[in-house]
Amino acid sequence: VPEEAQAEVVVVGAGLTGLILAGELAARGVDVRVLERRSVGATDEPGPLLEGLHYPYGVARKILGAGRVRDLWRLTIESRRIVSSLGPTTTTGSNRVGERPHEVEALRESAALLQADGFEAEWTGEALRVPGDAAIDPAALVRRLAASLVVCEHTTARRIDDRAPQLRVITDRGDVACEAVALATGASTGELVPFFESIVYPVRRRCALWSARAPGPLRTPRVSADGRRLGWQRPDGRILAVESTPLSDAPEQSWDQMLGFSCDELPCVGPVPGSVRLFVCAGFHGNALGPACARMLAQIITTGRSEYPYRMLDPRRHVI
Ligand SMILES: Cc1cc2nc3c(=O)[nH]c(=O)nc-3n(C[C@H](O)[C@H](O)[C@H](O)COP(=O)(O)OP(=O)(O)OC[C@H]3O[C@@H](n4cnc5c(N)ncnc54)[C@H](O)[C@@H]3O)c2cc1C
């Protein structure tokens, strides 16, 4: 970061969300600069981009309400559409499987409810199959997105000074003066804005990768009913597992991934309470909501509204 750098909008975080947000802003003529504390593509992500929320559709409707769940489901499909327009995706479909009788029943019921609401899903007798689910190479995608943007890697945003006439992002490598800041900082959002400490909280997921082997049954990603565990044989033959061990030999690589969960299971997209120039886009609860929410926030920042259902995601709902 050059001393006294300037930008119209600073995006903090160069994960998939931050880079799509920055690209959307740049496409609307905004002078945008991205700050990333690591290097771009360092975030290990599972490759599947799965439709829907982590728990079955019918269960989600009981918890969040039918209208909100339908809107969120559509946003995950929109995320897949946005990502497909940005780079190669492989259509894999996915199989959601229950281990206990009530999980099997919830998935079977969800298949019927999804069909009734116009979503593509079927009950195979053993699994809820979503044919349109796809997978991406997230590291390659973020590197490609970053190549056309101004991204300052290895630059940690330490603090945001929202009191001065011009907003300032204080980093460990110099300050950036700007008109607005957007946080796409995932699980770390509360570190920069304490208001989010108990609203977007980190949840660890253990991921492992096994060496390539002959094609097997996991070529279609297999996801547990609660969305927590996943097994998938990638196109390169390697087997990826999240919170599960589908093979008896030791994996060649394993790592922890931190997800930003949300206290009410809904993302926070919009202005940070108390500010008109600080925005947030985080709390996806491990669901494929980041890309659509990034486009939503770009629309909010540039026009004050969005074509998507944005009011239910407004962070100001958390103000007591
Ligand atoms: C089992 C499992 C299944 C998943 N399924 C899906 C799925 O189907 N679809 C999907 O989209 N996602 C899925 N995810 C989540 C996905 O991997 C990403 O975590 C998610 O897309 C959020 O991306 P993000 O860009 O918002 O956050 P992150 O990828 O966490 O990026 C945030 C970035 O901000 C940077 N940062 C944070 N604080 C600062 C700071 N102060 N200064 C500078 N930089 C900072 C971080 O270094 C990081 O690069 C899944 C994850 C798991 C484990």
CB distance 38 to ligand 1 below 6 Å: yes
Please state the rounded mean pLDDT for residues 277-299. Answer: 97
CA 18 to ligand 1: nearest atom: 25
Query: How do residues 29-50 score in pLDDT, each as one tens digit?
Result: 999 999 999 999 886 667 899 9
Confidence of residue 63 (pLDDT cuts 50, 70, 90): very high
4, pLDDT greater than 80: no
CB distance 176 to ligand 1 below 6 Å: no
Query: How do residues 214-234 score in pLDDT, each as one tens digit?
Result: 999 999 999 999 999 999 999
Is this model's pTM higher than 0.85 or not?
Answer: yes
Q: According to the model, what pLDDT value does residue 2 have?
A: 56
CB distance 185 to ligand 1 below 6 Å: yes
**156, 172, 185: residue to mutate for ligand 1 pocket, most atoms within 8 A of CB:** 185
Residue of 258 and 5 predicted with greater confidence: 258
User: What whole-number distance in Å separates Cα of residue 309 and Cα of residue 294?
Assistant: 13
Is the distance from CB of 190 to CB of 183 less than 8 angstroms? no
**Helix, strand, or coil here: 160?**
strand
224 is written with which tokens? 């547990």
CB distance 94 to ligand 1 below 6 Å: no
- Give the dihedral sign, CA 41/44/49/55: negative
Pick from 1-5, 55-59, 151-155: least confident: 1-5
Confidence of residue 115 (pLDDT cuts 50, 70, 90): very high
165, pLDDT greater than 90: no
CB distance 195 to ligand 1 below 6 Å: no
CB distance 75 to ligand 1 below 6 Å: no
User: How far does the centroid of ligand 1 lie from the alpha carbon of residue 143, in Å?
Assistant: 14
Q: Which of 289, 315, 284 is nearest to 205 (CA)?
A: 284
70: which residues sit within 8 A by CB, 6+ positions away?
Answer: 117
Q: Whose CA is nearest to atom 27 of ligand 1?
A: 186
Q: Residue 224: enclosing H or E segment and its boundaries?
A: strand 222-224
Please state the rounded mean pLDDT for residues 202-212. Answer: 96
CB distance 49 to ligand 1 below 6 Å: yes
